[in-house]
Amino acid sequence: MSTVTDGHSDAAEPAFTLGPYSPATRAGNLVFTSAQSGVDPATNEVPPGGFEAECRQAFANLSRTLKAAGAELAEVVKMTVLYTDLSYLPVINEIFTETFPDTPPARTAAVVRLAGNRRIAIDAIAATS
């Protein structure tokens, strides 16, 4: 089981990061995640199945990172979604709506260039009770 100490998550799973930073940090009742990509932590690869599979994996990675820090997707109040092609927005919106059917969090979305073959990265702020 992962823990949060000194405000930083020491989660080994799915703490997939590309650099020397914490996958999640807690400040009081707020949990801040680093961007989670659509890389499968079991294989260290983008899953087969195109952008939709990669996007679903990014949301799954975000969920696991939040849980490791003591939060849930339902507690997310703000998300940032970075993606590499504007044509991906309908898929992102579909999965976002599935994930947050009743009370979606505030969201910023932007087309950017990401490292490697990654096409999406998502970070979040959650307010825990």
Number of domains in the chain: 1
Confidence bin at 20 (pLDDT 50/70/90): confident
Tokens of 57: 């994996």
Tokens of 59: 């949301």
Tokens of 93: 């919106």
pLDDT over threshold 80, residue 99: yes
Mean pLDDT of 62-79: 96
Q: What is the DSSP string of 35-103?
A: PEES-BTTTTBPPSSHHHHHHHHHHHHHHHHHHHTT--GGGEEEEEEEES-GGGHHHHHHHHHHHSSSS
pLDDT at 60: 96
Query: 19-42 in b/e burial notation, b at 16+ Cβ within 10 A?
Result: eeebbbbbeeeebbbbbbbbbbbe
Closest CA to 14 of 6, 27, 24, 29: 24
**103-121 per-position pLDDT tens digit:** 999 999 999 999 989 999 9
pLDDT at 12: 39
Domain housing 83: 4-127
Residue 68 belongs to domain with CATH number: 3.30.1330.40
pLDDT over threshold 80, residue 5: no
pLDDT over threshold 70, residue 79: yes
